[in-house]
Structure 1
């Protein structure tokens, strides 16, 4: 009598040194798994529930400033450090892993309104409302000091050349070797809020003014390129570090708008959910995510292509947020508020800190794919989107939605009973905030 048996060599599924880890034999025939979808749905539901259970985004608070923190930037040569400036003129360098100050100086007599990294390693610049721009190195005395005619409100440095731009009464471009600005741009605004150099197309930079404009400039020309007029004032600008022509603005109308500088007739994306003015925003180094800090005392994180935030961070003690930054590894977010604290948050609230085992990595990747596959299901979507927000923000949000709903209903009724209005084309949501473009 002949008996056929399964025979497998142990060398195929046992490691050479560790003999307790066995290869799992799987039959991938779909007919052998009739309830695959049901099992996967249950796993996706459990994964979403665990994500919300372990969502603890707050990491730590950096105490030291005795006034509000109004500007921050990444350190020019140390990936683990960041620079902050406060309302009392103090500038500090923080080591994030140790959560302590490594360098501090009383840099200005007025509020520090801007800090940025310089061309040389270790150098950075700061500007203030006391009409000075200072270049700092390792010592406690400034290397260079530049005097301006107006109080400075923003500062940005060219990526590779020794040139920087300032905003204030006008937009000025300075050469570090000269004591006077080499270019002076003005296009109708009383003053300008901020200025930012493009890090990819390095000759381009943008500014926003009190006359509700966003203006683009080119160092190779002696006049501005184009001007975009919005319905309300713009407070902050950030360029996408991976796409040369894309920039995002934070506005007084509670929204962030993403534009392509080649065609600004319509916004590429409108990011909503805040209930007060956006004071600052920043792209992640990957260019795939945006963080915004608002006057409503919350921080929101957005995926670049989506219109609503994927997360909202807040604490009871955090006040108006005036500065936000991504860390260089895209894993953390920093926020500076006018209560004098810099807070460190995880970019993904449920992400585990520290080293992960390879099995854990595979399990988390599998869970993420399951959530993407079944994210459209009602229960999974409801659990994934649920966030606890402060009562006043929740009330303001519901009031805002009710007002917008009433305006839409009013417009629909007017169009229904008026032939003239009915023939007028509806303005798309991405064009509503744009009044015009000048060149």
Structure 2
């Protein structure tokens, strides 16, 4: 089995903090999620997380105008230059201070970074290789407090900077004679946004108290005059030493900060003397009515459409047309503050990010509808489970929600909110269409994935908090363990009735697992025992397995012939469930490598004695076991050799606690760590009220760093990926065949040239065998797709048995993305028809391959069936409509014929009456 798993996607979290960005075409949203970047394709409805990560949470992202480069900056000011085409890191840089915003110029030649009270202009990285990609051009001083926002003019000649000192500064990007700097006031609160008008120096400034100022410039962009270069004036002769010292200081400053431009607030008389650019406030508008104190938290302006979007702390956003300040519409999209707003290039879609709830929304303002709406678990995720075909992942969290994720798109498509307390465990039934979840609210609920509803609710006779859950292979029996009454409850899925209450454990039941081949339930408890319950023999205890410490997790091997148990002392023991004998054990405490929390008074070495694995899962072939727990590492062990094969570091984000083994010496005092002193408020709207007795969340402190840990992990049924619920979110690691060269039975004669020679000779079977021996994906695909359609059955029949399984696995991967659906389906059908009996004898070994094939076929079936159903219903509607119109026409013709007959009859009667009258006369 291969173990070259790499991080592939991050689910369960869509936005944390920082600014949102749209791509150049406006169809992709780039969202910072912790220390990673997620890319959401709105057109194809897919998500992807870029493979790089920063050392701390990302605070701002700057996108180049052509969309090929991005500068990502974290909380400490460490910047990373990333190529969005190759997804590779090109350059590292450190600003040494927190950065509030970053913005490329429209021409892509410069970019501005604001930190503290200074704006730094850098030359943008070129297309050539450079030793230093960030070259400082100018440093602009002016504001007295931290800078908050930036905007450029359309021709990149000037830029504007907003500040927390309630002032706005306009600077020239070049050495203009009539505009070096200009300061604007007019506000009574922090500047949230400042925007230039299209092709103009006119300005709009927005402050946190909901005030909009409209500024008009007396100069057009074409009216900026370039300052003539002059020689530096000679210094007065005050001695050669003073002259040398001043020149050395000047060279030193220019070397560190580039050209320094220092602005100062000028009086009206000083401005009148200079023939510089002047600004005049044309109007002032207020978002809040009298008595309303709703803070404005985010703003964005679309210059071509003159549309201003503002987000508020109450979750409301306004859409205004400027400069008239006409309200287009207003909507409440959340009950938490809107942290970021972005508008795409066409101005049709507006992106909103709510950091506290973890929401990401894209709103189309013209049709007043959501284009995209996603929200992760806003609390820790507790458990996950794969569907039998590997297409879906279900997660349960402490926010009492159950969410179902599509592994192909990476998006959540349904959320169940029936639980009223933390969800402790979730699982799928064998059919894959029913989800069962257990919660601390005392209920176990079953959800239908066809109708998206809760169709069964199981409860206990006495209220109990359920901490573990299991469903048998048939999907008929549902069991849940209680953490307060130490009992196990059994229900029938069909009737919903309680069948039995299993008592015997003397501690909380931590984990339950049904045998995949027998009606045997394994229960693990804190009383240092694992009990095996026979479901067919009156639910009696079959065996009791003694443990060396408290039991935390238990799982069966896929063939049901072995049992793995994780205990509190960091060991994993393996048992034979038939003979109740122990086959072996692994001491994995040292592999966890736990870190020291900032508030720990003991070292990491001492605290590691209380850490252990809390989740176990066998691989698809049963030869390895995946283990994770109270640390940042996930370990894969070989069961036969009882040794560590590979260890995965799930996060390198230092914004989490317990990431490093040793604390920073600079933060240590003789009385302990400085983190033990809780001082200052966070970046919220105010100091949160301390609550006594809080057991979860921020522990009543003003600063809270979550601890990194793995709560649950599972292998995919296909064996090509595994997922883990962590503090960071739902992480998915997959095998990428293109990254690993893994030939099979390689020889000197096995070369791409010899394979293509066999193709020219039309030796199809020989070419396929050679291609699979070299094991290069592109070459295998080329060989397969050159085989004529009518020769597929002949080639399948002549293939050696060892290559049939390899070909089936390759077809399963090709079916996911290839457009040649019928071609690959024909390959799969012929392989299964001709080699079905031999494959059936080895069904246990090739089960992951068959499940991967089923997953690919099922996905195409779902997509095509929806399209076919839609077309079929349209055709039925058209036929019914034509029939109705035909009946209507027939009825109209009948009425016309009847009218003609009536007219003829009336004419005949009138003629007859005329004849009678003539005869009487």
In the superposition, the TM-score normalised over structure 2's length comes to 0.32
Q: Distance in 2 between matches of 1:283 and 1:251?
A: 16
Q: Distance in 2 between matches of 1:263 and 1:274?
A: 31
Alignment of 1:199-218 (within 5 A): 199-201=516-518, 203-218=519-534
Q: Distance in 2 between matches of 1:137 and 1:292?
A: 30
Give yes or no for the alignment of 1:279 onto 2:593. Answer: no
Which whole-Å deviations, capped at 9, do the CAs of 1:179-204 have from their partners, x for residues lacking one? 44211111141321111101112x11
How far apart are residue 157 of structure 1 and its match? Answer: 0.8
1:132 maps to what in 2?
443
Q: Distance in 2 between matches of 1:194 and 1:56?
A: 27
How far apart are residue 297 of structure 1 and its match? Answer: 2.0
2:471 maps to what in 1?
157
Describe the shift of the 1:270–1:349 C-alpha distance in structure 2 as closer, same or farther (beyond 3 A): farther
Give yes or no for the alignment of 1:362 onto 2:773. Answer: yes
Which runs of 5 or more residues in structure 1 are unaligned?
A: 1-50, 366-439
Which whole-Å deviations, capped at 9, do the CAs of 1:99-138 have from their partners, x for residues lacking one? 1112222231111111111254411111101000111013
1:173 maps to what in 2?
490
How far apart are residue 303 of structure 1 and its match? Answer: 2.2
1:75 maps to what in 2?
387
Tell me if the contact between 1:271 and 1:307 (Cα under 8 Å) persists in the aligned partners. Answer: no
Tell me if the contact between 1:228 and 1:264 (Cα under 8 Å) persists in the aligned partners. Answer: yes
Match of 1:98 among 409, 415, 421: 409
Describe the shift of the 1:266–1:104 C-alpha distance in structure 2 as closer, same or farther (beyond 3 A): same
Larger radius of gyration: 2
Match of 1:107 among 404, 415, 418: 418
Which whole-Å deviations, capped at 9, do the CAs of 1:292-336 have from their partners, x for residues lacking one? 111122111122312222111112238210110111211111010
Q: Describe the SS at the equivalent of 1:153.
A: strand
Q: Distance in 2 between matches of 1:75 and 1:187?
A: 32
Q: Distance in 1 between matches of 2:558 and 2:423?
A: 25
Match of 2:712 among 323, 327, 338: 323
Describe the shift of the 1:350–1:120 C-alpha distance in structure 2 as closer, same or farther (beyond 3 A): closer
Describe the shift of the 1:261–1:349 C-alpha distance in structure 2 as closer, same or farther (beyond 3 A): farther
Which runs of 5 or more residues in structure 2 are unaligned?
A: 14-375, 594-610, 657-707, 745-751, 753-767, 777-921
Q: Distance in 1 between matches of 2:556 and 2:616?
A: 10
Task: Pick which of 100-109 and 176-185 moved more.
Answer: 176-185
1:298 maps to what in 2?
633
Tell me if the contact between 2:429 and 2:475 (Cα under 8 Å) persists in the aligned partners. Answer: no
Q: Describe the SS at the equivalent of 1:309.
A: strand
Q: Distance in 2 between matches of 1:66 and 1:349?
A: 34
In the superposition, the TM-score normalised over structure 1's length comes to 0.64
1:182 maps to what in 2?
499
Q: Distance in 1 between matches of 2:395 and 2:631?
A: 21
Q: Distance in 2 between matches of 1:303 and 1:351?
A: 23
Match of 1:229 among 546, 557, 569: 546
Q: Distance in 2 between matches of 1:60 and 1:161?
A: 30
Tell me if the contact between 2:396 and 2:426 (Cα under 8 Å) persists in the aligned partners. Answer: yes
Give yes or no for the alignment of 1:288 onto 2:623. Answer: yes
Which whole-Å deviations, capped at 9, do the CAs of 1:12-65 have from their partners, x for residues lacking one? xxxxxxxxxxxxxxxxxxxxxxxxxxxxxxxxxxxxxxx99xx67222211222
Q: Describe the SS at the equivalent of 1:287.
A: coil
Tell me if the contact between 1:214 and 1:227 (Cα under 8 Å) persists in the aligned partners. Answer: yes
Q: Distance in 2 between matches of 1:277 and 1:204?
A: 27
Q: Distance in 1 between matches of 2:717 and 2:553?
A: 20
1:346 maps to what in 2?
734
State the number of aligned residues: 308
Alignment of 1:383-394 (within 5 A): none
Tell me if the contact between 1:117 and 1:124 (Cα under 8 Å) persists in the aligned partners. Answer: yes
Q: Distance in 1 between matches of 2:528 and 2:5?
A: 38
Q: Describe the SS at the equivalent of 1:362.
A: helix
Tell me if the contact between 1:282 and 1:325 (Cα under 8 Å) persists in the aligned partners. Answer: yes
Which whole-Å deviations, capped at 9, do the CAs of 1:148-181 have from their partners, x for residues lacking one? 2311111111111511111113012111244442
Q: Describe the SS at the equivalent of 2:453.
A: coil
Tell me if the contact between 1:331 and 1:347 (Cα under 8 Å) persists in the aligned partners. Answer: yes
Q: Distance in 1 between matches of 2:735 and 2:575?
A: 24
Describe the shift of the 1:90–1:155 C-alpha distance in structure 2 as closer, same or farther (beyond 3 A): same
Q: Distance in 1 between matches of 2:496 and 2:474?
A: 20
Q: Distance in 2 between matches of 1:122 and 1:102?
A: 14
Describe the shift of the 1:172–1:56 C-alpha distance in structure 2 as closer, same or farther (beyond 3 A): closer
Describe the shift of the 1:188–1:304 C-alpha distance in structure 2 as closer, same or farther (beyond 3 A): closer
Tell me if the contact between 1:60 and 1:345 (Cα under 8 Å) persists in the aligned partners. Answer: yes
Q: Distance in 2 between matches of 1:116 and 1:150?
A: 19
1:85 maps to what in 2?
396
Describe the shift of the 1:268–1:231 C-alpha distance in structure 2 as closer, same or farther (beyond 3 A): closer
Q: Describe the SS at the equivalent of 2:640.
A: coil
Q: Distance in 1 between matches of 2:567 and 2:516?
A: 22
Q: Distance in 1 between matches of 2:498 and 2:508?
A: 17
How far apart are residue 208 of structure 1 and its match? Answer: 0.8
Tell me if the contact between 1:269 and 1:305 (Cα under 8 Å) persists in the aligned partners. Answer: no
Which whole-Å deviations, capped at 9, do the CAs of 1:257-288 have from their partners, x for residues lacking one? 11111333433343533353111011122212
Q: Describe the SS at the equivalent of 1:248.
A: strand
How far apart are residue 225 of structure 1 and its match? Answer: 1.2
**Highest RCO, 1 vs 2 (Cα 8 Å, sep ≥ 6):** 1
Tell me if the contact between 2:399 and 2:422 (Cα under 8 Å) persists in the aligned partners. Answer: yes
Q: Distance in 2 between matches of 1:247 and 1:308?
A: 17
